[in-house]
Amino acid sequence: MNMAWPGLFNYCKSQEMNNIESLGEFYNRKFNQALVDMLHQLADQLGATPAQIALAWILAQKEWIVPIPGTTKPHRLEENIGASGFKLTADDLQHIDEAVSRIRIQGHRYVDGSEKMVDKD
């Protein structure tokens, strides 16, 4: 991202990013776009959705690992269920692992404010 500070500030305002956490999310999202693009490309090649590829990848890691995707939309539930019947080949898994090893993931899973709410009774 090569945007001068005034341009970045104006962009953030136009997107209603009014705090530093929103700016961090924006920056991290842009930084991590390579991973998203790779998932889209592989999904297109395999006739699946990026979410199905991600879930199939998790399912392929260990037999005892079970992803728990959340959704409020019935069509996303059907999409997620579709991943259970989708098997990635050894070549697919190797391609994903190699691509991910070249991508430096930026940021945390949650912004600081949300992180403080995780695992609280």
Tens of pLDDT along the chain (121 residues) come to 444 555 655 665 565 555 545 555 666 777 778 888 888 999 999 999 999 999 999 889 898 988 888 888 999 999 988 888 888 999 999 989 988 888 777 776 666 666 677 776 5
The predicted pLDDT at position 89 comes to 93
Tokens of 82: 């579709």
What residues contact 93, with CB distance under 8 A and at least 6 apart? 57, 60
The predicted pLDDT at position 48 comes to 92
The predicted pLDDT at position 104 comes to 78
The predicted pLDDT at position 109 comes to 66
| pTM as predicted | 0.66
Do 53 and 42 meet the contact criterion of CB atoms below 8 Å apart? Answer: yes
Do 39 and 50 meet the contact criterion of CB atoms below 8 Å apart? Answer: yes
* Cα–Cα distance for residue pair 54/60, rounded to 1 Å: 10
The predicted pLDDT at position 90 comes to 94
Give the tens place of pLDDT for each residue, 54-74. Answer: 999 988 989 898 888 888 899
